[in-house]
Each structure stands twice: as C-alpha cells, then as structure tokens.
Amino acid sequence: MNNDNSSTNNTQQYYVFPSCSSEQQACSSPPTLGEVGGKALSLYETSANFSVPPGLVLTVSFFQPWLDRIRKTSAWKDFASAAASATDGAGASADVTKSKKHCDAIMTQCKKILSLSSSQKKQLGQAIKTAFGPEANIATNLGVVAVRSSSPEEDLAGSSFAGGYETSLGVTSDTLEDAIINSFASLFDHRIYLYKVQHGMSAAITTPRIAIIVQRQIDSDVSGVGFSINPSNNCYDEVMISANFGLGESVVGGIITPDTYIVDRFDADAPSIASKRVAEKT
C-alpha cells in the first residue's frame, strides 16, 4: 500500500508490505526498483504469496530533503571534488586515507544535522499504522523492528553492495529515528565509495540513492539463509541452507560457522538432505 500522495512533489513517500492484507480493500500499485531498491521490491513481491513479517519502505523520494541538505555543506563540496578526481581517472591512485576522511566527514554531518521533519514524521507515522496496525505509533508503541537499507544501486546484475550499508536490529520507538539516520549515512561509507570508484559508477557517487526498510523483527529460535543453487559447486540440482540459533545476523555477518545442509531437490521420491555439517556450538 502507498501513501496519500500529499507530498509536495506528489511522489510516493512509502509503501507497506504485505502488499495485500485484511486491512486493505485492494492491492496497491507495485513500487519500482528506482523507488525502493531491489531488497524492498523483493520483499513487496514475495509478500503477495508467502508469509513475510510486515513492514514498510521509505522511498528514495522520502530522503531527498536530507540529500539536498547534505549537499549544502562544506563536507559535501570536499567530497564531490575528490570524487570527481577519482572517477575521471586523475585520482585513480589517490590517497585512500584522504578519501576516507571525506566520507567520514559527511557521515558525521548526517548524524549531526539530520532529523525527521514534521512532514516526514507524519508520513512515517501513517506508514507505521498501515503496516503494523492502528495501535502502532512512532512515539511509544512501535514494537521491535529491524531497519535496513534498500538502495536502487545495490544487488544489480553488474554490482553488489551486500553488507555495505548499515542495518540496525532490535530497534524500538526510542531508537527508530537514529537507526534511520544511520542507514542513510551509510550511503557515504568509505567501502561503498571505493566500490563505486572501482566499478566506474561516478554518477552513483555524487547522486546517491537509498530507500530504507522498517520491518517487524521476529523473535526467532533459528535463522538461516537458503541458496536455490549450491554456491560451492554451482549445482542447479542442490539447495544450500546455512543456519544457526537466534537471529540471522550471526550467519550473514560471518560471526559464526553455521550448520550447513545440502538438499537434493530433484530426488526421485522427494527433496532429501544429501549432506549436512553441524558446526560446534559454544
């Protein structure tokens, strides 16, 4: 579901998922990749047919005022000048320490001067009520959520920023705004900057885009990641599942060695576990 188009530029400020629910009379028009990024778009589309914890995505347009404000700072001018030198070939061997200094300066500015405007708070409040129910609100009754990036630039055919942007888990009403600011600020993380320079993505450096997901966090006993193709041998007949107790962050962040299961999905009788490796637990 989308917002009421009451913003100044008449652009979508948020979408919620599941895309169709009992509280909604009809399915909303789907968002585009450019509005919400690949991660949020996948959640939106998947939620139409599978059980996905409810949530919302604040679109690229929602954060345009923040980007406009950052562009007026002296830190941005220094950053843009350095980026231009790096991406036109003149700075191919530029001092990495200097570029990191510029990135860190912008991230500091983001956390220092950015805050949700009254209009943004209104839009976010509407999105929260639509996604999580009429009793939910920003101030006191948000529950526990995860705040994640969804940039239109990440996880594309020719680029992958997986793990580069900031994710916050266990977010509540008291920490929601800070978590959103932290995810936005990670647009300028030095790792992201270097990746863009190395892949010739000059436009993506000086015109960055990000959408941000706010999703209900479940109290999981076991979490994991499933690969529809076995990435260790590129076998299309096998599914790989990596899992661990608790939240999935321990798996995707490489914090632990997960349990690993290989499933033969084309077994003659039914999908079966071809092999498993149970990691040592502490």
Q: Residue 44 in contact with residue 30, Cβ under 8 Å?
A: yes
Tell me the whole-structure pTM to 2 decimals: 0.84
How far does CA 217 lie from the centroid of its chain? 14
Work out the angle at residue 124's Cα, subtended by the Cα atoms of residues 122 and 127, and round it to the nearest 5 degrees: 110
Query: What local confidence, expressed as pLDDT, does residue 270 receive?
Result: 81
- Work out the pLDDT band at 181, boundaries 50, 70, 90: very high
Residue whose entry in the numeric block shows the structure tokens 């909303």: 28
Nearest by Cα to 82 from 100, 65, 68, 69: 100
More confident residue, 221 or 159: 221
Hey, how many other C-beta atoms are within 10 angstroms of the C-beta on 171? 23
How far does CA 208 lie from the centroid of its chain? 14
Average pLDDT over residues 191-197: 88
Query: What local confidence, expressed as pLDDT, does residue 4 receive?
Result: 42
Q: Residue 240 in contact with residue 226, Cβ under 8 Å?
A: yes
Average pLDDT over residues 200-227: 91
Residue 33 amino acid letter: L
Q: Residue 61 in contact with residue 31, Cβ under 8 Å?
A: no
DSSP state of 91: T
Report pLDDT digits (tens) over 39-51. 999 999 999 888 9
Burial class (CB in 10 A: 0-12, 13-18, 19+), 55: buried
Report pLDDT digits (tens) over 122-134. 999 999 999 999 9
* Neighbouring residues of 221: CB distance < 8 A, sequence distance ≥ 6: 245, 246
Q: How far is CA 14 from CA 23, 36, 40, 152, 257, in A?
A: 17, 9, 11, 15, 37
Percent of the chain with pLDDT over 90: 60
Long-range contacts of 46-52 (CB under 8 A, 24+ apart): 47/17, 47/18, 47/19, 48/18, 48/19, 48/20, 52/17, 52/18
Q: Give the start-end residues of each E strand in the chain.
A: 14-17, 55-58, 145-150, 168-171, 211-216, 222-227, 238-245, 259-264, 272-277
